[in-house]
Structure 1
Amino acid sequence: MHPENNTENNAPATENAASGSGLPVASPRSLDDPNATFEDLPFKPQLTEKQAKRANQTFKGMVLSIGFTVAILIPVLMLNPAPKDDAFESDVNLQATAEQTEQISGFEIFAPELGEKEYANFARWQANTAQGVPYWEFGLVSEDKNFVWVRQAAESNPTWIALITDAATPTEKRTIGGTEWEVRVKDQSTYLIADFADSTVVLSSDTSVEQLNSVAEQVANDLK
């Protein structure tokens, strides 16, 4: 009996012989298959000599462009070194600004003598405010970069204080420098509020309660 001439049986034998192995040769994937690779292309693209030269010139141009950019940036960076912490210190003359403000404020202005490593990063008289309460304010930066915001007004009222303290919640009364201060807290900020002979002082800080208490003691000693 002759074996049946079946083409389905003959195809794998032919493919195996061509590949030289016992495993079937995988058919190329469709180009629509997301797993298709370069090997599944029906042809392998070849760059012509001109195309290869053009691609090489583009790459060289990119390298040269980067080199020129670096060469320009290096001297610019050398001429502009990174700023030091001292560069951020303000030259505000707190005492001189306070003397000028006191002539128009109508009350005794608090402006402490600053230590060697302390400085005021701003100082101003707020005359035209939305709350209708003019006030003196300045920022005090200590040696370790802790910050205390000082505000002082002669015509303060509960609404102004609520706005200045961002509606912070009163938590306690605290005696500092012989003066009773109301303590308010909101988020990371602590506020100290006290009434003096002719003005109300509001102190605030979100960096150091110790520094806040220190400034409160200075205020109490200067204004009482």
Structure 2
Amino acid sequence: MGIVQPENTSQNDVPVGEQPIRRDLNDPEATFEDLPFTPLLTEKQSKRANQTFKGMLLSVGFTIAVIIPLLLLNPANKEESFQHPVDLQAVASEVSGVADFKVFAPQVSGDEYANFARWKSNQIQDVSYWEFGLVMDETNFVYVRQSADANPTWIALVTDNAIPSDERVINGHNWEVRKKDQTVYMISNFKDSTLIISSDTGEEELMTVVQAAEAQGL
């Protein structure tokens, strides 16, 4: 039986105790054994890497140093910053010059305020009307519309076709009550105008505005 000679390869030629020479990774015959255990960097490459890392730290530190003063100078918006009160009495005074009726504008106090007030000329069904919104107790809202040209179609449209559900007499004056989902509408005809007061947040605030309308003597 003949003696089998070891295959003559470059790996078998490496003397014992010495590190094998790794093939270039682009060599088609390269194997996992040819991968370096750690990346080998020259002194210049190592210095550039350290400089890049230090530059990144300086950049982050500079960004933080700029942002912190801006945050301190611009604190988070408080709830009051989202309020946009308008001078209801002043706007009502201007509207009185074009309206053919006594304009309803209740006095507001405390946490109550009007967040809009305007005259709508020839809008729905060519009806011009005065409208404003009252924010009460920060969360409750009452919507008021008043017109001298109200008709059944206009009333149906602005009340979202709410169905009449009740009638109430307040200070000897009749009010029709309509409801649609969570919204309650109270409608009454005064001497020169029709008033529609509505709310979807509670009848207590609604009745407060109704009482104010009665007290103003429209």
Shared fold, TM over 0.5: yes
Q: TM-score, normalised by structure 1?
A: 0.69
Q: Which residue does 1:76 correspond to in 2?
A: 70
1:147 aligned to 2:141?
Answer: yes
- Residues 150, 59 of structure 1: CA spacing in aligned structure 2 closer, same or farther, 3 A cutoff? farther
Q: Secondary structure at the match of 2:77?
A: coil
User: C-alpha displacement at 1:134, in angstroms?
Assistant: 0.5
1:47 aligned to 2:44?
Answer: no
Q: TM-score, normalised by structure 2?
A: 0.71
User: Could you tell me which of 172, 175, 179 is aligned with 2:173?
Assistant: 179
Tell me, yes or no, if the aligned pair for 1:112 and 1:218 is still in contact at 8 Å. yes
Q: Which residue does 1:162 correspond to in 2?
A: 156
Q: Which residue does 1:207 correspond to in 2?
A: 201
- Residues 194, 54 of structure 1: CA spacing in aligned structure 2 closer, same or farther, 3 A cutoff? farther
- Residues 142, 57 of structure 1: CA spacing in aligned structure 2 closer, same or farther, 3 A cutoff? same
47-56 or 117-126, larger mean C-alpha shift: 47-56
Q: Which residue does 2:98 correspond to in 1?
A: 104
Q: Secondary structure at the match of 1:105?
A: coil
User: C-alpha displacement at 1:128, in angstroms?
Assistant: 3.7
User: C-alpha displacement at 1:90, in angstroms?
Assistant: 3.6
Q: Which residue does 2:115 correspond to in 1?
A: 121
Tell me, yes or no, if the aligned pair for 1:155 and 1:199 is still in contact at 8 Å. yes
2 CA distance for matches of 1:58 and 1:184? 72
In the TM superposition, what whole-angstrom CA distance separates every residue of 1:74-107 from its partner, at most 9, and x where no partner exists?
1111111223333344452222221221121110
- Residues 52, 167 of structure 1: CA spacing in aligned structure 2 closer, same or farther, 3 A cutoff? farther
Unaligned runs of 5+ in 2: 1-30
What is the root-mean-square deviation of aligned Cα atoms in Å? Answer: 2.8
- Report the identity percentage: 52
1 CA distance for matches of 2:81 and 2:213? 29
Q: Which residue does 1:221 correspond to in 2?
A: 215
Unaligned runs of 5+ in 1: 1-40
Q: Which has the higher helix share?
A: 1
Structure 2 residue identity aligned to 1:47: P
